[in-house]
Amino acid sequence: MKRILSLLLAVVLAFPLIITQTGCAGKPEPVEKSSYYMDTICSITIYDMEDMGQENAEAVIDGAFALCAEYESLLSATREESDIYHINHAGGEPVECDPRTVEVIKMGIRYGELSDGRFDITVGKVTDLWDFHSETPQLPDEADVQEALSSVDYRQIAIDGNTVTMGNPQGKINLGGIGKGYVADRAGDYLKEQGVTSAIINFGGNIVAIGDKDGEAFRIGVEEPFSDQGEIVGVVAASDATVVTSGIYERCFEKDGKLYHHILDVKTGYPADTDVAGVTLMGDFGSSADCDAMSTICLMLGVEAGKEFIEHTRGVEAVFIDRDGKITKTSGADAFTEE
């Protein structure tokens, strides 16, 4: 239990803070609930909706969490009933999947193409070698890493309708770099369909802002990497928008004086070695999955190449924090203000 509580606290502290006012006079109090899906704490806070009330808002949040559970049962690499688990254990045989699973896989393939293979959802066999939750983490055997790398290539995935086939029988899909953002997008859609006009969804660093707060944008704090006290380096103003933060400080351990983090380079099988400590992407409502994938790509590319990548991507801006604490923004990142 102590280990679980420590892990949950670490997850909470690793991601952006929401800096906003709670209820004002004459306004209903916000309704907030949290749960645990996709290996992270997921929280939803409703500030306003049609027929706002405690019971109504809680029912809507419960419906959104039910949706999370449904998607987790499709996209998880570890749950035996999921489409991804079936694909990964089919030995190269075709697997009939839910159309939503196929949609996420296609998005993953697209970002594999856009990143020249730096983002690769077939990295599953490599990620299986690393345990960043262990109380005594160990480095994987070099021979095992090299063997696992031989199964990594997003181009091996064949899709025919809703049937997915792995070209390499040893290949494994892991949607950790895009799935959480996709579910956040779907939760945002669901809340709007239920009449929610003002809310914050926070799925472990994937934040979706629905509407605004009393006519003003939500203020999303960007945390300083490796901060023990949750200090922030700046604030993102977000209205009907998505804000996604990724960093090498989220899940990591130190071994023999060297830091090992969970963003793995698909060329080496080891953590990406660039100057980026953290990156926050800002996009339109409904783009959390895209920002999820692109934040990983930026961590792979480094500050300068990552900035150039985002500058050529419509509708997305970025704030990079390098390992020395220097902040670099893309040219249109006006929503971010340094503190």
3-class SS of residue 229: coil
120 domain-assigned = no
Q: Which residues of 82-110 are buried (b: 16+ CB within 10 A; e: fewer)?
A: bbbbbbbeeeeeebebbebbbebbebbbe
What's the order of all strands across the beta sheet hosting 95-96? 95-96, 163-166, 157-160
Q: Is residue 142 part of a domain?
A: no
CATH of the domain at 29: 3.10.520.10
Q: Which residues contact 95 (CB under 8 A, 6 or more apart)?
A: 83, 86, 87, 163, 164, 165
Q: Is 322 domain-assigned?
A: yes
The pLDDT tens digits along the chain (339 residues) read 334 333 333 333 344 566 554 445 567 899 999 999 998 999 999 999 998 999 999 999 999 999 999 999 999 999 999 999 999 999 999 999 999 999 999 999 999 999 999 999 999 999 999 998 888 899 999 999 999 999 999 999 999 999 999 999 999 999 999 999 999 999 999 999 999 999 999 998 899 999 999 999 999 999 999 887 678 999 999 999 999 999 998 788 998 889 999 999 999 999 999 999 999 999 999 999 999 999 999 999 999 999 999 999 999 999 999 999 999 999 999 999 998
Residue 251 lies in a domain: yes
In a domain, 254, yes or no: yes
* Start-end of H helices in the chain: 2-13, 54-75, 83-88, 99-114, 124-127, 142-149, 179-193, 288-301, 303-311
- Residue showing tokens 């998505």: 242
For residue 233, the enclosing domain spans: 2-49+199-338
Is the entire prediction scored with pTM above 0.85? yes
Residue 333 covered by a domain? yes
pLDDT in tens, 229-239: 678 999 999 99
Q: How many domains does the chain have?
A: 1
Asked if the structure places residue 98 within a domain, the reply is: no
Q: Could you give the residue ranges of the DSSP H alpha helices within 150-222? A: 179-193
> Does 154 map to a domain?
no
